Every structure is written in C-alpha cells, then in structure tokens.
Amino acid sequence: MTAPVPARPRRVPPPLNERCAVFLDIDGTLLELASAPDKVRVGPGLPPLLLALRRRLGGAVALVTGRSISDVDRLFAGMRMPIAGQHGCERRDAHGTLHLHARETATLQRLRALFTDFARRHEGLLLEDKGATLALHYRRAPQLAAHVHRTVRETVESAGATGYRLQPGKELVEVRPDGRDKGSAIRDFMAEAPFQGRCPVFIGDDRGDEHGFAVVERMRGWTIKVGPGASRAQYRLADVAAVIDWLAAFAQPAPPAAP
C-alpha cells in the first residue's frame, strides 16, 4: 500500500483548463460522508455540474471510487459516466465497455462468511459487500476501530487469502484484490480517448486515494487532497463545498457583470 507522506503546504489548486482530464473520488469529495454508504445524498446541482464539466473537457471526466459501478449508477441515475469502481477492480471506459479484474471467488466467499458473522456479533458494524471487495464500516461504533482492524488482518492471514490486501479508509477497513487500485485505474483511463494526452487531475480525500495521487504525480498531473490529514497531494481543498465551487468555476463560470 502506498503510505501517505507528511502533509505538504496547503496550496489551493490552480484553475482547471481545457487540457485537463479530471478524476473524482465520490465519498468525502463530491458527497458528504454519511453514517452508512446508502445514506449519502446527491444534491440537485451536482449532476448538472458533472455534465457541464464533461462538456467543457470533451468527455474527459471519470469517477474513481471504492463503490461498485452499479451503486454509482444508482446514485447518478441516467448519467453512465466513465467509472472505476471497487478501487479499480471494475472499470467502465468512455465508450461504455466494462473491464473486470476479478480474483478467484472461493477465498472471497470464505472472507465474506467470516466478516458477516463478525459484523453480526458487534452492534454498529456494517459489512458492505461490493462484489469483488468487502468493507467493514465502524462509523457507528468508533470504539471498535482497533478491534476491527486487528480482526480483519488476522482473518485474512488465517484464511490464507493470498492475492488480497487491506485498504484502510475513513472509519472502515476494506479487503480488495492485490494489483488493482485507484492509481492503476487512472493509468488505464489515461491510455484511452478522450483522456489520452491530457494533464490528469485527481481529487480524493482518504488513504485509498494515495495510490491515485502517486500515479498522477508520475504523470506530472495535479493531485488534490480534500480536508485535513497527511497526504502526498500537491494541493488542498478544505471540504466538499470547496471542491464543488472549484469545479463550478470552470464548468459553470459566472456570466460577466453588466456594464
């Protein structure tokens, strides 16, 4: 796992321009975090903003998330944007083609059964089964954080789950296939139209986004961390509202003032 580095100075990113390709995390970046993944709310202004951003960038906008593609399509009904879901384990390109990177299922089935039993025995824990990845959320039981991380690590080790790795996040820990992450997904997008040849810009808010930041830095793009905390990202935006305002300044510029 790519480890965060000490926080850099909190510089505001420069304005977007027509040569950029924009990659956006969802939870904590475009949407405020909620008590459970299915409790988040998409404000009425966000879908039009994303559509306007895509128009200005010739379609070079993708969502890069830990959520499944089907879950994102539920949140943003009818939009069918390019998406990398489950930390890159599944990806829908700009032409609508689906790319899957699944591991053998027997190990994942064993982990699913063990984590389901663990979550049932502890009030406040939530197991999110995304298909190729599993996430244990402890947002409603923060006192169990250390117990959850230790149990998940020991369970993966005892199950002999080679080919899987742990991905800590904001009040959750996730088990995902090794070899795929947000960075590899962005690299795949950048090899394809309409992203190819542009300057990649990735905005994210937690540790799972550091893989994307590392890849985008190697491509000499822009990396933007949302909120506080250590990160290798070059730039900072304070919160979800600041992200929306920054995107809107390019996608939906204010009309010139009347003379």
Q: What is the DSSP string of 56-87?
A: HTTT-EEEE-SS-HHHHHHHTTTT---EEEGG
Residue 253 backbone phi and psi in degrees, to 5: -60, 145
The residue count of the chain comes to 259
Question: What is the rounded average pLDDT of the residues 212-240?
Answer: 96
Kindly tell me if the per-residue pLDDT of 79 is higher than 90: yes
Confidence at residue 45, expressed as pLDDT on a 0 to 100 scale: 96
Question: What is the rounded average pLDDT of the residues 210-215?
Answer: 97
Q: Which two tokens stand for residue 220?
A: 């000499």
More confidently predicted of 96 and 130: 96
- Closest C-alpha among 66, 62, 63 to residue 89: 66
The type of residue at 141 is A
Spot the catalytic one: 25, 93, 181, 188: 25
Q: Is the distance from CB of 106 to CB of 202 less than 8 angstroms?
A: no
Q: Which two tokens stand for residue 49?
A: 């903003």
Question: Could you report the per-residue pLDDT of 126-178, keeping only the tens digit for each?
Answer: 998 888 889 999 999 999 999 999 999 998 888 777 778 888 988 999 988 88
pLDDT band at residue 100 using 50, 70 and 90 as cut-offs: confident
Element (H, E) at 243: helix 240-251
User: Known catalytic residue: 205?
Assistant: no
Domains of the chain: 20-101+180-251 (3.40.50.1000), 105-177 (3.30.70.1020)
Kindly tell me if the per-residue pLDDT of 102 is higher than 80: no
What's the half-sphere exposure (Cβ side, CA atoms, 13 Å) at 62?
34
pLDDT above 70 covers a percentage of the chain that reads 93
